[in-house]
Amino acid sequence: AQTVTQSQPEMSVQEAETVTLSCTYDTSESDYYLFWYKQPPSRQMILVIRQEAYKQQNATENRFSVNFQKAAKSFSLKISDSQLGDAAMYFCACGGATNKLIFGTGTLLAVQP
């Protein structure tokens, strides 16, 4: 069984500042993947970043990076130089290599100009 927990229902950040969204997970899979998805008001889930659990190096995509702590089962997302377009709902998700994707409850990020 897999569970994903996001303990921050809402976060706010000033434009150009840095914000970190938290996520913890639990899984019995030995081969699994972790994801952060962005869901704007258009409702489409957009992949922000993904991390293979077997990789020790933290994934980075431009202004987005993760802090993956495997032993602590923690997977936080850092957004640097926040932009107004980053405002959205962010979901953390976990899935085994041959299994389904399980989502957290989401964090609503507001970006203040």
Partner 1 sequence: EAGVAQSPRYKIIEKRQSVAFWCNPISGHATLYWYQQILGQGPKLLIQFQNNGVVDDSQLPKDRFSAERLKGVDSTLKIQPAKLEDSAVYLCASSLGVGVNYGYTFGSGTRLTVV
Residues that bind partner 1 (CB under 8 A): 4, 32-33, 35, 42-47, 50, 52, 91, 93, 95-106
Q: Give the shortest CB-99-to-partner 1 separation in angstroms.
A: 7
Q: Give the shortest CB-92-to-partner 1 separation in angstroms.
A: 8
Name the residue nearer to partner 1 (CB basis): 13 or 95: 95
Q: Give the shortest CB-44-to-partner 1 separation in angstroms.
A: 5
Buried b (16+ CB within 10 A) or exposed e, 62-91: eebbbebeeeebebbbbbeebeeebbbbbb
> Which residues neighbour 4 within 8 Å (Cβ) at sequence distance 6 or greater?
23, 24, 25, 92, 93, 94, 102, 103, 104
Name the residue nearer to partner 1 (CB basis): 3 or 14: 3
Name the residue nearer to partner 1 (CB basis): 85 or 113: 85
- Assigned token pair, 82: 């926040």
